[in-house]
Amino acid sequence: MAQQDDDQTYLPISLFEPGNKGAITIHVKKKKKSQVPAQLLLVAPQAEGTYPVLLFCHGYCTENSWYSHFLEHISSHGYIVVAPQFYQCLLVSLNNEVQTAAEVADWLSTGLATSLPKNVKPDLSKLALMGHSRGGKTAFALALGHAPTALKFKALLALDPVSGPKPPTWVEPNILSYVPHSFNLSIPIGIIGTGLSSQAKGVIPPLAPNGFNHAEFFNESRPPCCYFLAKDYGHCDILNDSKAALASLVCKSGKDSKQKMRRGAGGIVVAFLKAYLGGETNALQSIIDITANAPITLDPIIHITV
């Protein structure tokens, strides 16, 4: 439960634990005559209400279901999460993924409400965008307008986003310019990086090398923007336990509990969304001010407001 310290500073311990709304997962299949642009994983609160919506883009060669525990944590605090499944071909164009994400965003206004339980309603005036790894780049590319959408995003989050050097056609668009604050975005941006993602795993190169990872994405973000580094964790430690263990064969992984990573990152995401979709800033500010309150070590934390 939330506590008060001697200075009456709010400590959002509850954000790092499952919320009181519950969470239910719904699989929406893409059929030949269906208007659904892609197979979807919907994660919605069980409690009756109207909730903000978060569009989530998964990472390279992963599946949306591999993030279910992380997304359930977020949803249980009062958010509807929509996670499309992109193609699994190794050389699929990133432009295709951005276009699919845009089509899903447009589908939200016509198809989301009918795909949810009757007592759960989406508030599309509070729509946020998030992605992990290559999906983080997909989220940025979509927010930057590389595929048009009818709805407007009010906030953008990225979990260990990664781009690539001078990309070939299949990983375009190239959105990094190496110019500080160059992203042409006026919405709040939150970035969660991992300290081990830039390290090689034996002879396997890092999945998020320096110069193309979370640090550069934050460098090019405009205020208001937040940066949190989970220094003791790796690139895929946000996944469900079994998938994180599988990914550890090809990338560095933290030694501590992956559940702590999901709880820590999930709490940050909820605090960010509360601040920038709901105007409730106490939770985010207290995470920034009182880092020991988080279940994982966050170092550094940077919050630029102007």
**Mapped to the 3 state alphabet, what secondary structure does 92-123 carry?**
CCHHHHHHHHHHHHHHHHHHHHHHCCCCEEEE
- Domain housing 74: 3-304
Quote the pLDDT of residue 77. Answer: 97
Quote the pLDDT of residue 251. Answer: 95
Work out whether strand 80-84 and strand 40-44 pair parallel, antiparallel, or are unpaired.
Answer: antiparallel
**Model confidence pLDDT, tens digit, residues 5-25:** 433 444 455 899 999 999 999
Q: What's the total number of domains in the chain?
A: 1
**Distance separating alpha carbons of residues 2 and 14, to the nearest angstrom:** 6
Quote the pLDDT of residue 6. Answer: 39
Question: Which are the catalytic amino acids?
Answer: 133, 160, 235
Going across the sheet that includes 49-57, the strands are 24-28, 40-44, 80-84, 49-57, 120-132, 155-159, 189-194, 225-230, 298-304
Look up the CATH number of the domain holding residue 294. 3.40.50.1820
Point out the residues of the chain with pLDDT beneath 50: 1-11
Quote the pLDDT of residue 172. Answer: 78
Cis before 295? omega within 30:
no
